[in-house]
Structure formats: structure tokens, C-alpha cells
């Protein structure tokens, strides 16, 4: 007897991914050009569950481009990208470009969230609706359950009092926390931050540091793009230094920032100090 | 006399309301066609918009009215007069509205699309839940201008013999040898516009709960 197979809604399966020993996100030999300008050249990088990885590098190095490709807002020209056991794109022999799998893209989208540099909250929705809308509309979850989770997240991020306001009534730091709640309410396995702390005062930076460590402690993989070396050093388990589209150095904060070996890293860090 | 004028006024209001009901949603489709990445569709829709905006509405009305006769040699019944007016008005105003929508859609920051895409919204959900509601707020002032113009444009139906308010006022002026019916009609058009402007301002206020 064969029953037709029903497809289950993709649910975050942190246990499966880690049981298989797969990284939460995995990029291999990724390349990307704009016209004849090579912006990413053979970038390989992965983040495990519970790990915080920061991407640093000078302006124009390709950090944003890499983040856009990781979040499927843009595509790699060649290389491989996987979220846990979901392989989003891979090189197929005989094809010059890497091949994206639509269904895998859809599943992968449920596995990562991003906090944009300018947050990109939906201005016409209240804070609560910003957080609840996608889980209900996209993931088709029970509104009651989603609201419960959303309110807990707002509580945790210290913005529960603002649940019924619209984003433009909030400060930048508060908006960023709404954006974090919005990403977390989708139960992702990976969360990316574009410029996590550039808009924050020292106190909020410290809060952000604690939050990111908590998320990692709960098993989330965290990817950060930042220009702030101090923050990257304190919060990260690993740091990758991107220069001219290549990762020229990668290691623990103490290795990469404390004791860089590549001359390009040294020069960048010397400049970054002032 | 007022009774006749009011009958005409009801017809004017019908043209006004039906045009809005038809053209507001149709304009969304037209704008989407204009913005389509499928170039032949975008060009075709662009041609239609250009034609609608570049020729008089009165001429378009006549075209719609006479086309069945010239094309199919068909005599059209008297009911068709009103239908022809409505087709012409809706198709004409949809073109104007579409241009307003298009500029509104194009003014939306890319980040709104990207945030929605990352959250997994489909293209349709993205457009109708995230983009369009914000676009409506942005274009309300421009739409208001068009809608007030529409009140006055309803008098163009006179040329095809629809008994709307201008037609009836003109008949009254002729039979009574007095300009008073015109004055009353003018007053009614004016008051209508004032009421509409008031309603639009209320809607603008309602949508003013956020700024972007
Ligand atoms: N859409 C695009 N079209 C053409 N070139 C682009 C595009 N996006 C980025 N680039 C180029 O790719 C290179 C890498 O840009 P990217 O924005 O990824 O750098 P970055 O490391 O994020 O810099 P920053 O620290 O200033 O944000 C730059 O030379 C940039 O000019
Ligand atoms: Mg950047």
C-alpha cells in the first residue's frame, strides 16, 4: 500500500541539523561579479549552531554583497550554499552558473532572519503586527500562539510597552529591537545582523552583546557584519576578515584582531583604531 | 425645476461613483502591467495610457459609443449610451490612476520589498500587504485632485445625450429663458467638490497614524 506523501511544513529542526553535524549555514567557493568586477572570490564560510561569527573588512570588500547572497536577496554566480540539510544552490557539472533550487530557497527562507542596518520595519503596522504578521501569513501558524510568542519576545527585548505603537514613534534602538523580535518570531536557526551596533550607545551596545550571547547559548547561529572591532572582538567566537572579495584571515578574535598574521589585516586594523 | 435638476444630479453621481468603483482597482492592474518585466506587455499598456491621456475624454466617449456600429454594423439600443459613457470613463480614469499608482509604487524604498522577501512573503502577499497600503497613503493627495476633476468631468456625458445634471440644467435654461438653472447646477457641483475634499481630508487624517 502506498499512501501519497504529504509534505510537512518546514519547521526549524535545530536538533536534526546538529545531529547530522551540519553547520547552520555553509558557503563554499562562492563567487560573484558585478559586470567585470569580481566582488566575491572563492568565499567559503560556515556558522555552526550556537556560534557567533563576525565578518569584518574595509568598505567595498563585499560584506554586504555576501550578506545579500546569504539572505537570498541576490544570487552567487558559482559556489554552494546550504542551510543545515537544505542545499540552496550548488555547481552542476556542465553549467557555468550555480543552480538554485526554488523549493530549497523557500525552505531556507524559514531558517534565517536578518536585522537590516536600517531595520526596514513596516511603517503601517504596529510593533506587534510587525512581529506577528509573517508567522501568521507566511508560516500559517495559529494567531493566538504567535501573539503569545510575540509578546514574550517584546518583553524580553524590553519593548513590550510599545507593542501598539507604530515604528516611527520609536527611537532607532527600539526599532532595531522590533526588527530583532520580528526576525526571532519566525524561529530561525540563523540570524544575521547588518551593522549590529553602529546606531547604539554604550549601554545599548552592552545589551546587544548580552542578547547575541543569549541567542547563541540557545543554539542559534549568529552572523554579524560590523565595522566596530571592539564589539566584534568581545561578542564573536570567530572572526572572518574579508578583503577585496576574499577571506584572507579567519580565526578566534584573539587571533584575527589580537594577533593578525596577514599584512592586509594588520593594515586594516591599524587604520580602524582611529 | 429643482426636481429635474436633482434627477440629473443623481445620474451625475452615478457616473462619478461607478467610475471610481471601476477605475480604482482597474488602475492597480494597469499600473502592474506598466511595471511588468515582460516588455511587450509594459509597452502595450504604456501605449494605452498615453492614448488615454493624450486624447480628449469626449472623443473617447464617442469612439466607444460608435465602435459597435462601425465595426459590426450593429444598431445599439438606448441603454448602450450609458454603458458607453461608463466604459469610456472607467478606462480613461484607470489610465490616470495607474500613472499615479506607478509613481507611488516606484517611490517605495527597496528595503520594504527586501524585508518582506526575507520573511518569506510571496510576491502577491508582498504587494498587497506591504506595498500597496503604503502606496495608497502616499498617493492620496494626487488621487484627490483627480477625483475632484472627475466630479466636473461627469458633465462631459452631456455630449452623448445622457441626462446628467449639466444636460438637464441646459434644457431648463432653454425652456425657462433664465440663467438660474446654470447657477444652481454650478452651486451643486461646487458643494459636491467641497464635500469630497472634506471626505478626502478625513481619510488623509485617518491614514496619518504613521509617517515614513
Ligand atoms: N548592485 C551592484 N552593482 C554593481 N556593483 C555593486 C553592486 N553592489 C555592490 N557593488 C560593488 O561591489 C563591491 C562590494 O560592495 P559591498 O557593498 O558588498 O561592500 P561592503 O564590504 O559592504 O562595504 P561597506 O563596508 O562600505 O558597506 C563594491 O565595489 C561595490 O561598488
Ligand atoms: Mg556594506
Per residue in A139-172, pLDDT (tens digit) is 999 999 999 999 999 999 999 999 999 999 999 9
Residues of B in contact with A70 (CB under 8 A): none
Asked if B97 contacts B23 with a C-beta cutoff of 8 angstroms, the reply is: yes
Residues of B in contact with A133 (CB under 8 A): 129
Query: Does residue A59 line the site of ligand 1, with CB under 6 A?
Result: yes
Q: Which three cell numbers stand for residue A110?
A: 524559514
Q: A92 burial class (0-12, 13-18, 19+ CB within 10 angstroms)?
A: exposed
Q: Which residues contact A109 (CB under 8 A, 6 or more apart)?
A: A72, B118, B119, B120
ipTM above 0.90, yes or no: no
Query: Does residue A60 line the site of ligand 1, with CB under 6 A?
Result: yes
Separation of alpha carbons A163 and A126, rounded Å:
7
Question: Is the pLDDT score of B4 beyond 90?
Answer: no
Helix (H/G/I), strand (E/B), else coil: A235: helix
Q: What is the pTM for the complete model shown? A: 0.87
Average pLDDT in the B174-200 region? 91
Query: Does residue A226 line the site of ligand 1, with CB under 6 A?
Result: no
Which of A63, A65, A223, A246 to mutate for ligand 1's pocket (most ligand atoms within 8 Å of CB)? A65
Q: Which of B108, B113, B115, B138 to mutate to test the interface with A (most CBs of A within 10 A)?
A: B115
Q: What share of chain B has pLDDT > 90, as a percent?
A: 67
Cβ separation of A123 and B210 shorter than 8 Å? yes
Cβ separation of B129 and A133 shorter than 8 Å? yes
> Which member of A116, A137, A139 has the closest CB to residue B125?
A137
Separation of alpha carbons A159 and A211, rounded Å:
14
Which helix H or strand E contains A162, and what residues bound it? Answer: none
pLDDT for the residue B66: 87
Mark out chain B residues that contact chain A at CB-CB < 8 A.
Answer: 109, 111-112, 114-121, 125, 129-130, 133-134, 137, 209-212
Cβ separation of A138 and B121 shorter than 8 Å? yes
Cβ separation of B112 and A137 shorter than 8 Å? no
Q: A154 burial class (0-12, 13-18, 19+ CB within 10 angstroms)?
A: buried
Query: Order of strands across the sheet with A86-90?
Result: A37-47, A25-34, A78-83, A86-90, A99-100
In tens, the pLDDT along B83-135 reads: 999 999 999 999 999 999 999 999 999 999 999 999 999 999 999 999 999 99
Q: Which residues contact A164 (CB under 8 A, 6 or more apart)?
A: A126, A127, A128
Q: Which atom of ligand 1 is nearest to the CA of A245?
A: 14
Question: Is the pLDDT score of A8 beyond 50?
Answer: no
Cα(A145) to ligand 2 centroid in Å equals 36
Dihedral (C-alpha) B145, B147, B149, B153: value to the nearest 10 degrees? 170
Residues of B in contact with A72 (CB under 8 A): 117-118
The distance from CA A53 to its chain's CA centroid, rounded to whole angstroms, is 10
Number of other CB atoms surrounding residue A72 within 10 Å: 19
Q: Which atom of ligand 1 is nearest to the CA of A65?
A: 18
Number of other CB atoms surrounding residue A145 within 10 Å: 11
In tens, the pLDDT along A202-211 reads: 899 999 999 9
Query: Does residue A36 line the site of ligand 1, with CB under 6 A?
Result: no
Q: Which residues pair with A37 in a beta bridge?
A: A34
Average pLDDT in the A238-258 region? 94
Residue linked to cell 550607545: A201
Cα(A215) to ligand 2 centroid in Å equals 24
- φ, ψ (nearest 5 deg) of residue A33: -125, 150
Separation of alpha carbons B195 and B38, rounded Å:
42
pLDDT for the residue B72: 80
Residue linked to cell 519593548: A159
Closest residue to atom 12 of ligand 1, CA basis:
A39
Question: Is the pLDDT score of A45 beyond 80?
Answer: yes
pLDDT for the residue B157: 84
Cα(A165) to ligand 1 centroid in Å equals 35
Provide the 8-state DSSP code for A172: H
Asked if A227 contacts A195 with a C-beta cutoff of 8 angstroms, the reply is: yes
Which helix H or strand E contains B142, and what residues bound it? Answer: helix B132-153
Number of other CB atoms surrounding residue A152 within 10 Å: 14
Query: Does residue A56 line the site of ligand 1, with CB under 6 A?
Result: no
Separation of alpha carbons B9 and A173, rounded Å:
56
Cα(A63) to ligand 2 centroid in Å equals 6
In tens, the pLDDT along A102-147 reads: 999 999 999 999 999 999 999 999 999 999 999 999 999 999 999 9
Residue linked to cell 452623448: B160
**CA of B120, closest CA in chain A: separation in Å?**
6
> What are the b/e assignments for B46-68, b being 16+ CB within 10 Å?
eebbeebeeeebeebbeebbeee
Nearest alpha carbon to residue A159 among A134, A136, A128: A128
Q: Which three cell numbers stand for residue B73?
A: 454594423
Cβ separation of B119 and A182 shorter than 8 Å? yes
Cα(B107) to ligand 2 centroid in Å equals 23
Kindly indicate the confidence band of residue A15, based on its pLDDT and cuts at 50, 70 and 90.
Answer: low
Amino acid at each position: 500500500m502506498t499512501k501519497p506523501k504529504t509534505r510537512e511544513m518546514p519547521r526549524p529542526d535545530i536538533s536534526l541539523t546538529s545531529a547530522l553535524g551540519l553547520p547552520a549555514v555553509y558557503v563554499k567557493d562562492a563567487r560573484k561579479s558585478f559586470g567585470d568586477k569580481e566582488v566575491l572570490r572563492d568565499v567559503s564560510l560556515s556558522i555552526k549552531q550556537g556560534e557567533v561569527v563576525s565578518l569584518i573588512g574595509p568598505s567595498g570588500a563585499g560584506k554586504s554583497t555576501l550578506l545579500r547572497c546569504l539572505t537570498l536577496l541576490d544570487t552567487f554566480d558559482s559556489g554552494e550554499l546550504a542551510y543545515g540539510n537544505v542545499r540552496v544552490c550548488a555547481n552542476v557539472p556542465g553549467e557555468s552558473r550555480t543552480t538554485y533550487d526554488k523549493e530549497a530557497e523557500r525552505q531556507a527562507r524559514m531558517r534565517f532572519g536578518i536585522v537590516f542596518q536600517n531595520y526596514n520595519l513596516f511603517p503601517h503596522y504596529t510593533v506587534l503586527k510587525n512581529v506577528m504578521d509573517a508567522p501568521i501569513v507566511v508560516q500559517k501558524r495559529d494567531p493566538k500562539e504567535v501573539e503569545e510568542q510575540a509578546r514574550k519576545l517584546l518583553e524580553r527585548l524590553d519593548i513590550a510597552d510599545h507593542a501598539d505603537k507604530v515604528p516611527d514613534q520609536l527611537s532607532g534602538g527600539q526599532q532595531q529591537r522590533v526588527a530583532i523580535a520580528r526576525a526571532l518570531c519566525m524561529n530561525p536557526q540563523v540570524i544575521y545582523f547588518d551593522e549590529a551596533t553602529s546606531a547604539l550607545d554604550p549601554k545599548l551596545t552592552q545589551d546587544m552583546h548580552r542578547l547575541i550571547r543569549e541567542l547563541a547559548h540557545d543554539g542559534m547561529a549568529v552572523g554579524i557584519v560590523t565595522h566596530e572591532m571592539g564589539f566584534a572582538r568581545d561578542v564573536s567566537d570567530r572572526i572572518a576578515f574579508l578583503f577585496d572579495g576574499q577571506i584572507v584571515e579567519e580565526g578566534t578574535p584573539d587571533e584575527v584582531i589580537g594577533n593578525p598574521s596577514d599584512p592586509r589585516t594588520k593594515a586594516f586594523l591599524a587604520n580602524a583604531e582611529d | 425645476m429643482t426636481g429635474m435638476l436633482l434627477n440629473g444630479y443623481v445620474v451625475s453621481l452615478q457616473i462619478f461613483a461607478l467610475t471610481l468603483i471601476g477605475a480604482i482597482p482597474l488602475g492597480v492592474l494597469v499600473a502592474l502591467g506598466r511595471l511588468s518585466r515582460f516588455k511587450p506587455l509594459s509597452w502595450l499598456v504604456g501605449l494605452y495610457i498615453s492614448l488615454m491621456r493624450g486624447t480628449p475624454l469626449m472623443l473617447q466617449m464617442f469612439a466607444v459609443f460608435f465602435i459597435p456600429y462601425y465595426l459590426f454594423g450593429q444598431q445599439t439600443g438606448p441603454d448602450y449610451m450609458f454603458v458607453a459613457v461608463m466604459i469610456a470613463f472607467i478606462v480613461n480614469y484607470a489610465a490616470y490612476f495607474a500613472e499615479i499608482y506607478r509613481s507611488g509604487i516606484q517611490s517605495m524604498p527597496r528595503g520594504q520589498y527586501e524585508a518582506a522577501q526575507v520573511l518569506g512573503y510571496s510576491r502577491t502577499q508582498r504587494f498587497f500587504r506591504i506595498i500597496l497600503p503604503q502606496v495608497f497613503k502616499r498617493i492620496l493627495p494626487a488621487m484627490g485632485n483627480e477625483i475632484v476633476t472627475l466630479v466636473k468631468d461627469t458633465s462631459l456625458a452631456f455630449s452623448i445625450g445622457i441626462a446628467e445634471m449639466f444636460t438637464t440644467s441646459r434644457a431648463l435654461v432653454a425652456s425657462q429663458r433664465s440663467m438660474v438653472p446654470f447657477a444652481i447646477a454650478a452651486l451643486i457641483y461646487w458643494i459636491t467638490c467641497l464635500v469630497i475634499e472634506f471626505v478626502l481630508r478625513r481619510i488623509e487624517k485617518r491614514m496619518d497614524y504613521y509617517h515614513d
